[in-house]
Chain A
Amino acid sequence: MRRELGMFSALVAMCFALWLSNSDFLGASNVINTTRQVSMLGIFAIGIAFVIITGGIDLSIGSMVGLTGVIIARLTSTSTGGLGYPLWIGIVTALVVACLFGLIQGLLITRLRLQPFIVTLGGMLLLRGVSQTVVEGGVISMGQSPLLSLASGGLLKLGRDPLIPYPFLIFLSVAALGGYVLHFTVLGRYIYAIGGSRDAAEYSGINVKKVETLTYVISAGSAGIAGICYAAYIGQMSQQVGVAYELYAIAAAVLGGCSLRGGEGTIFGIVIGSAIMRVIDNGINMFQYKYSDADGIRRIWRLDPNWNWIIVGAVILAAVILDQLVHIFQAARAVREAGARKAGIAASSSANAEAAKRAETHAG
């Protein structure tokens, strides 16, 4: 929990600093929008966490997010390029495709013993290509689809904006379900055991292949759910939707305390990690510094949006470096304390000669 609490404090500090620099950061519309962004990332970050905790990786989920949106647009849109089927057909088809593809990836990884990195890298490229083919290289608008209200709508209207957007409710449900499965069920125990030692799990009679396959289905399925939200949010589906999202999800998981070696991580941590990733994004837009120049004219300095990736990358590196430094420092302190405790005991017995003598008598 150390990592999680540390990251939570960092998140709170970050929000406070952004609020100081620009009070609009905590304005209703920005808060609601950021919450929506955090929620949509969080949904599939929780999914990929299942894979990461078993020690695997899933690079295909960004493309999966895009593909599910594209399928929905293609099947249900009444605009150009859409086939105009009912919305539920589009949603069900998209989720089935996502879970099936997760199942296929899982089976390839567990039955053929292929490396997850390679299988899901192939999946990532393949699905991206499928998206591109489905939209024929262009854009399909969702038009006036009722789906759009999924992203814009919510509970407790506050003027035009809902205080609790629907994606946030979906995110809460996914997090609750994920937390329940991971922390309170036998399946969750097996997932941590496999991540800790695949062989020991196998030797304990756990059906490792089945559990691992299931994690890839969970990961792809959660990407499907997130994809529906993104389709509703963006409204214009092209092959560009979801590019590099898998990296956001992996970063969120790692920031939240998952180890890519497997066996570590909590749902609370993933939620915090997702929030940090999206608050950084938002913060780059919101951060400002007001000053008066030499002529006394008031000016506002803002971050160059081109720095986006530099800042995101730097934050991830800083977080893992800091975590490691704290770890090293704590280990050193524990050693010093142990030394101090034992020093008193050592002083009372003049160690060597006596110990040797005692041993001789015992042995003799």
Chain B
Amino acid sequence: MSSASVAEEPLLSMRGITKRFPGVVALQDVQLSLHAGEVLALMGENGAGKSTLMKILGGVTRPDEGEITVAGKAVEFSNVRDAKAQGIALIHQELMLASNLDITSNIFLGNEQRSGSLLRPLDRRRMKAQAEALLARVGLELPVTTLVSRLTAGQQQMVEIAKALSANARILIMDEPTSSLGSGESEQLFKIIHQLRANGIGIIYISHRMGEVMELSDRITVLRDGRYVSDLLRADASHDKIVGLMVGRALSNQYFPQKRELAAPTTRLVVEELELPGAPGAVSFSARKGEILGFAGLIGAGRTELMQAIFGVTPAKAGRMLLSEVRYAPKTPREAIDRGVYLAPEDRKHHGLVLRMSVAENSSLPNVATYARFGWLDRKTERRVADAGVKRLRTKTPSIKQAVGNLSGGNQQKVVLAKWLAMQPQILILDEPTRGIDVGAKAEIYQHMSELAGEGITILMVSSDLEEIMGMSDRVVVMHERRITGVLEGSALTQLAVAGLMTGRAHDVDSMAVAS
């Protein structure tokens, strides 16, 4: 399909796009083209300029230089409405739906069907009928009056797509659409994308997941450091080649560190019959000293809830935990921290960091009281500890006084880690440690995890990235619907086995599509 359309006039063409922000040039003379009925993967590390380019295309920000043509006509967008009028729809990574409204209201939000002026009543019957037709198109079998707050992340994604279609989108931009989806929901999404492509819609697909990109895309455009690097047809692309273009050097596929030999296993944490809030069954497992214990599962499998119980955010309803053979029942994060159990949360921007505070202030937050004298802040010690953290994790920041909000995702995660490493961790819980982090920084985080485990720290790692689970874990606990469906290690630890247990269909693994 793509090869045939190359000769045609592109549906979209962006040329010489330049965009400057305070202190940085986000985009420098970038080009991009998209044909009807084509899936274009836009690749690049975080900070390469993908998001900025897509914001320009979606009318969210205006470029300083450059031209955009849609179907051969030069266009200029001063706001989102202008872009929408040209049939461009942008689906953000964080979905932009009003959760207190139903599906129909969301689909037509800002585009309400009414007869005449703004004050005329809404034409509910027509909107409902159209919404039903749109849901059928995206394969969502739900009443259109369902509240969006009751939908899963995957279903909400479908509603976003239906919304884009309702506005007659010709160009659909999807920013990391699978980042919050389980693999079953991702499969459903891919099916819809194939369908949309067949209907002649041009799709720009942004993802860090190489497997998806190789499966879905017709062509790949790579950006690096705000510049256009190259275009590849999928046939010419390989995992290594794309990563090489993204980071500007050849990277071996194997960016996971060598697994360490575990010495005689010592049990550090025992979890017995732990009952999570709102869950039916109970959960039992144990973790050893110096091991990386992976937690695989779909979104909503209860992994985050389990970690929050272990960290004392939402205490378990019943059950027993032993930490180093001493009873452990934290009712607040403080109690967990005092026992050496630390959590780097999934949502690091809201739960892990105070974005407006500096690197130093964030690094010292859990610990600052211990080196205060009579409540007086000891800024000298604080600076020393923060400097050590920055050095140890090779955090890229102009200074430890820099506000954390100005750092990239990977460096923010390093600050979260530094905050805990300044203390003496027994157990480090990492919930989605590399979500939204670019390839280069990922490899560094993995290296640090491996070193920490080598020092005897027990790492509990929740991840929805199967590659990461396989690459990093010594053992893997698989969860499905808030129960543990299996604990795998050694030769039993295979992608197929994990993927099967994740969906609760251990014997039906063939139906699972596993990212290669």
Q: Does A31 contact B (CB under 8 A)?
A: no
In the complex, 28 of the A-B residue pairs with CB atoms within 8 angstroms, ordered by the A residue number, are: A184-B376, A185-B372, A185-B375, A185-B376, A186-B377, A199-B351, A202-B333, A205-B333, A205-B336, A205-B337, A331-B22, A335-B21, A338-B20, A338-B22, A338-B23, A342-B25, A346-B29, A351-B29, A352-B29, A352-B31, A352-B227, A359-B222, A359-B224, A359-B229, A359-B230, A359-B244, A360-B230, A362-B244
Q: Is the pair B368, A186 in contact by a Cβ cutoff of 8 Å? A: yes
Q: Does A280 contact B (CB under 8 A)?
A: no
Q: Which residue of A lies closest to B225 (CB)?
A: A355
Tell me what chain A mostly uses at the interface: helix, strand, loop, or mixed: helix
- Residues of chain B with a CB closer than 8 A to A61's CB: none
Q: Does B447 contact A (CB under 8 A)?
A: no
Q: How far is the CB of B93 from chain A (nearest CB, A)?
A: 20
Q: Does A203 contact B (CB under 8 A)?
A: yes
- Residues of chain B with a CB closer than 8 A to A185's CB: 372, 375-377
Nearest 3 A/B pairs, CB to CB: A334-B22, A196-B354, A363-B244
Q: Is the pair A342, B20 in contact by a Cβ cutoff of 8 Å? A: yes
Q: Is the pair B354, A201 in contact by a Cβ cutoff of 8 Å? A: yes
Q: How far is the CB of B17 from chain A (nearest CB, A)?
A: 11
CA distance A360 to B236 in the complex (A): 12
Q: Is the pair B23, A339 in contact by a Cβ cutoff of 8 Å? A: no
CA distance A151 to B456 in the complex (A): 66
Proximity bits, B217-244, A CB within 8 Å = 1, else 0: 0000010100111100000000011001
Q: Is the pair A203, B352 in contact by a Cβ cutoff of 8 Å? A: yes
CA distance A355 to B223 in the complex (A): 10
CA distance A335 to B26 in the complex (A): 11
Tell me what chain B mostly uses at the interface: helix, strand, loop, or mixed: mixed
Stretch among B78-86, B133-141, B254-262, B355-363 lining the A interface: B355-363
CA distance A115 to B266 in the complex (A): 48
Q: Does A348 contact B (CB under 8 A)?
A: no
Contacts A200-B351, A356-B230, A359-B222 known; 19 new A-B pairs at CB < 8 A: A186-B368, A189-B361, A193-B365, A196-B357, A197-B355, A202-B351, A203-B345, A205-B333, A207-B332, A263-B356, A346-B28, A351-B29, A351-B227, A351-B228, A352-B29, A356-B228, A358-B248, A362-B248, A362-B249
B interface residue count range (under 10 / 10 to 19 / 20 to 34 / 35 or more): 35 or more
Q: When the two chains form the complex, which single residue of B228, B311, B353, B369 contacts A186, counting CB atoms closer than 8 Å?
A: B369
Q: Does A12 contact B (CB under 8 A)?
A: no
Q: Which residue of B lies closest to A263 (CB)?
A: B356
Residue from A192, A200, A202 with most neighbouring chain B CB atoms (10 Å): A200
Proximity bits, B365-384, A CB within 8 Å = 1, else 0: 11011001001110000000
Residues of B within 8 A of A (CB): 20-25, 28-29, 31, 64, 222, 224, 227-230, 240-241, 244-245, 248-250, 311, 313, 332-334, 336-338, 343, 345, 350-357, 361, 365-366, 368-369, 372, 375-377, 419
- Residues of chain A with a CB closer than 8 A to B29's CB: 346, 351-352
Q: How far is the CB of B478 from chain A (nearest CB, A)?
A: 26
Complex interface residues of chain A between 81 and 114 (CB less than 8 A to chain B) = none
- Residues of chain A with a CB closer than 8 A to B24's CB: 338
Q: How far is the CB of B423 from chain A (nearest CB, A)?
A: 10
- Residues of chain B with a CB closer than 8 A to A196's CB: 354-357
Q: Is the pair B25, A338 in contact by a Cβ cutoff of 8 Å? A: yes
- Residues of chain B with a CB closer than 8 A to A315's CB: none
- Residues of chain A with a CB closer than 8 A to B357's CB: 192-193, 196
Q: Which residue of B lies closest to A180 (CB)?
A: B376
CA distance A207 to B331 in the complex (A): 12
Q: Is the pair B377, A205 in contact by a Cβ cutoff of 8 Å? A: no
Q: When the two chains form the complex, which single residue of A339, A355, A360 contacts B20, counting CB atoms closer than 8 Å?
A: A339
Q: How far is the CB of B418 from chain A (nearest CB, A)?
A: 13
